[in-house]
C-alpha cells in the first residue's frame, strides 16, 4: 500500500512539473476584429511557454514596457518570427505587435498567481489597444483564467 501511495505521489509530482507550451496565433483578422492575437488571453503556470505562431504575415510579438512584472527584462520577436517565450516569473504580461498596436493588436498573459495592478491597467497605449485591453481585463475580472 505504501508503495502504491508513493508511486501515485511521484506521478502527481511528475504531472505538476510537466511544463506546457501554449500557442498564440498572430492574425490579420478574427471574429474579434482586425489585427489580433488568438487567443488574446492565456493563463499559464510558471515554467510554461507561449509560442507565437504566424497565422498571417507582418506581425511580431513583444512585451510592453510597464506591463511586465518588476525586474523582468522583456522580449521582442522580429517581424515574421515564430518565437517561443518561457515565463518563469508570476504576474501579468502585456504583449503587443509592434506594427499593429495602433490597430489594437495586443494580448495578456497571466503567469501563476497574480493580482492585476492599477499601474498595469492604466499604462498608456493607443486608443484601440486601450479598448481591446479593457475588453480583456473585463473578461479576467469576470473570472477568465481562474482554475
How far CA 19 is from CA of 28, 62, 86, 133, in Å, comes to 30, 22, 10, 27
Chain residues 11-70 in contact with Cu ion, contact rule CB under 5 A: 59
Stretch that binds Cu ion, among 11-19, 98-106, 112-120, 133-141 (CB under 5 A): 98-106
User: Smallest distance from the beta carbon of 26 to Cu ion, in angstroms?
Assistant: 6
Helix residue ranges per DSSP H, the chain: 2-17, 118-121, 127-141
Phi, psi of 60 (to 5 degrees): -145, 175
Residues present in the chain in total: 147
Q: CA end-to-end span of the chain, whole Å? A: 31
Q: Residue 97 or 125: which CB sits closer to Cu ion?
A: 97
Q: Which is nearer to Cu ion, 100 or 128 (CB)?
A: 100
101 touching Cu ion, by CB under 5 A: no
CB-wise, 43 or 97, nearer to Cu ion?
A: 97
Q: Which residues bind Cu ion (CB under 5 A)?
A: 59, 97, 100, 105
Amino acid at each position: 500500500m505504501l508503495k502504491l501511495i508513493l508511486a501515485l505521489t511521484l506521478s502527481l509530482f511528475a504531472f505538476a512539473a510537466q511544463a506546457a507550451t501554449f500557442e498564440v496565433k498572430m492574425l490579420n483578422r478574427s471574429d474579434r476584429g482586425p489585427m489580433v492575437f488568438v487567443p488574446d488571453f492565456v493563463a499559464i503556470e510558471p515554467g510554461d511557454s507561449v509560442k507565437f505562431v504566424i497565422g498571417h504575415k507582418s506581425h511580431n510579438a513583444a512585451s510592453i514596457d510597464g506591463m511586465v512584472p518588476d525586474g523582468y527584462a522583456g522580449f521582442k520577436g522580429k517581424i515574421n518570427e515564430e518565437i517561443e517565450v518561457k515565463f518563469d516569473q508570476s504576474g501579468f504580461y502585456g504583449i503587443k505587435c509592434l506594427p499593429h498596436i495602433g490597430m489594437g493588436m495586443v494580448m495578456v498573459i497571466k503567469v501563476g498567481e497574480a493580482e492585476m495592478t492599477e499601474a498595469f491597467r492604466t499604462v498608456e497605449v493607443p486608443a484601440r489597444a486601450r479598448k481591446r485591453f479593457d475588453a480583456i481585463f473585463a473578461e479576467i475580472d469576470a473570472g477568465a483564467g481562474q482554475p
